Amino acid sequence: MSWQLKARLAVGLITMVLLLTHVIADPVARLVVTLAVYVLVAYPVLISACKDLFIRHRMSEQFLMAVATFGALGLQDYPEALAVMVFYLIGDAFEEYASQRSHNEIASLVKLKPSKVRVINPDGTETIKKPRQVKIGDRIRVLAGESVGLDGTLVEGSASIDMSALNGESEPALFTAGQEIPSGVINMGSVIELIVTKDSKNSSITRLLNLIEDAAANKSRPEALITRFAVYYTPIVVGCAVLLALVPLVLPNEDFANWITRALVFLVVSCPCALVLSVPLSFFGGLGAISKTGVMVKGSVHIESLSKLKAMAFDKTGTITKGRFSVIEETLFNQPDANVAAVPVAKDAVTSEQRLDLLGKLAALEAKTTHPIGVAIVNYCTEQCVPTLEATEVTEITGYGIEGQINGHHVMVGKGRLLTEKLGMELPAATSDLVGTEVYVVEDHKLLGRVLLADEIKDTARSMFDELQRLGIKTYMITGDKDRVAADIASRCNISAYYAEQLPSDKLSTFQKIKSNNGVTGYVGDGINDAPTLAASDVGVAMGQFGSASAVEAADVVVMNDDLTKIPTAIELAKRTFDLAKQNMILVIGVKVLILALGALGYANIWLAILGDVGLCVIAVLNAMRPLYWVKTKSLTVKDVSITPAKAEA
């Protein structure tokens, strides 16, 4: 809560008490003090009311606040005039507190762009420049682990590039001399040099950030519940007050002054003080309950969107999966001669010595690389206590793998294309239904073995998708990975449908198609490449623990502890919170209609309205606090809802 809002609330409350207790008794002093404090407390409401009436041509809840308080001032009910605005400010304070980290501040995304580029001068020296200072045709250097600042063509050799920022692909891509490397990606290998092909304005990372900003700007924001209600309620109340003031035209014996006073009382009575406090408080309680589960919702409007979700789309890498490789299968082969097809050795026939020999030779070569797959293999071999072997004469086979000498034998390690394109061997058949990245070990031109690596699925993924199915929410996966990998993940996680091999622009258009077919649709992601889709979704959910800054900033909801099961929990709590807010509205409106009827007949005065509002406020506040206790008693029952995933039509 800002200090300005705190100060206005404090001044309003103190003045209201002084007026009620008649500490300020002189009529002129009461009027002057009331008007001064009223302007201080109510000026944002009055400005908003004028904008709504004259610019948007509608009567909002702010307009009703203004009209009702003008009526109270006309009746010299000064404490009541201030009370109306103070109640409204309290509700506004809850809303401001809940929304203070709104995700609309996308300006911080520019920090994601590389801030410096290493430019190579004609004499071979290096100069650090800002990306916008570099021209097309300049030669730049990118060290291992650095982000590529500008799009450029690789000068020589090869480069292992982490492309996950742009396409979500979990496996690094291999680039060779002459190929263009986009900006915003990470150099995973040795030092590389590029010839710049695009300036900073037109670079890949700049286009991605522009895409994020455009998607956020075009995203429709749901109106607050009470605002939608006020659009109908306010004109009806004002119309009824006008009709009351005109009753003497129909009943000639009636006194105009009496009915005008009654109309003013009607306006003051109509002011929904309890409503403007209880509804924001209901959402605030819901936000508190959801935050207890480790999920942060950036504002109450997203509670309603969460409660109405019909479908959710998910990124794969880092969201459904852990975003890191692990060995899931080892296979040894028997190939007595290079001209004879390799035959897999039955798992129960593999000796410990054979297994350790395979893994030792594999680790000896992979230890010489910085490729994520190599790192994963070395870590796995270390965990398996594989004896360390020394590899010599290690060289990279550009585009295929790596080779070297181990204990007098020529050993080669690489993917399937090493066998088929370099050695002229046939790929052996799969030995299981597992899907992943295959790495082969060849010794003296004979196939020694193979390991299979995969990006691990998070432990909570399957239960999360089962829960979403139980809630009637259709699920989709949108990923940059290959079709066979996507199909395997979708099947194992119980996902309704999937889209594979998607670039950032594809992801956004694909999501919009899903949204048009389903209605209110959410998106869950964690990477820079997910930010445009998060910004365009009805509810964007980011994984906060390991997610990128852009994803967290563009999202409406952030899962702070990376536990996917918190998503359906948050949705259920949002549904209950929205239902509670509607209950409070029905309760307040019901009592308010009764008091309005009594006021129109002349049986209710301003104090009955205030007492009614105070009583309603107490009940509504107690009701609104219920969400804070839901988490302690909440239990989810997961039903086994199994479906067959379908590859979605492009």
Active site residues per annotation:
315
- Report the sign of the C-alpha dihedral through residues 20, 22, 27, 31, in that order: negative
- Is residue 230 within 8 A of residue 589, CB to CB? The reply is no
Q: How many helices (H) and strands (E) does the chain have?
A: 22, 24
In whole angstroms, give the CA distance from residue 24 to residue 19. Answer: 6
In whole angstroms, give the CA distance from residue 21 to residue 32. Answer: 17
501: tokens are: 């091999």
Nearest CA among 557, 589, 14 for reference residue 274: 589
Contacts of 251 (CB under 8 A, 6+ apart): none
Contacts of 61 (CB under 8 A, 6+ apart): 226, 227, 229, 230, 233, 234, 272, 276
167: tokens are: 């396409």
In whole angstroms, give the CA distance from residue 567 to residue 352. Answer: 44
Strand arrangement of the beta sheet that strand 126-129 belongs to: 126-129, 117-120, 139-142, 192-196, 152-154, 180-181
- Is residue 572 within 8 A of residue 267, CB to CB? The reply is no
* Cα 408 from chain centroid (whole Å): 54
Token pair 């889209």: residue: 499
Contacts of 432 (CB under 8 A, 6+ apart): 329, 452
Q: Is 368 exposed, middle or buried (0-12, 13-18, 19+ CB in 10 A)?
A: middle
- Is residue 358 within 8 A of residue 449, CB to CB? The reply is yes
In whole angstroms, give the CA distance from residue 264 to residue 75. Answer: 8
In whole angstroms, give the CA distance from residue 167 to residue 511. Answer: 15
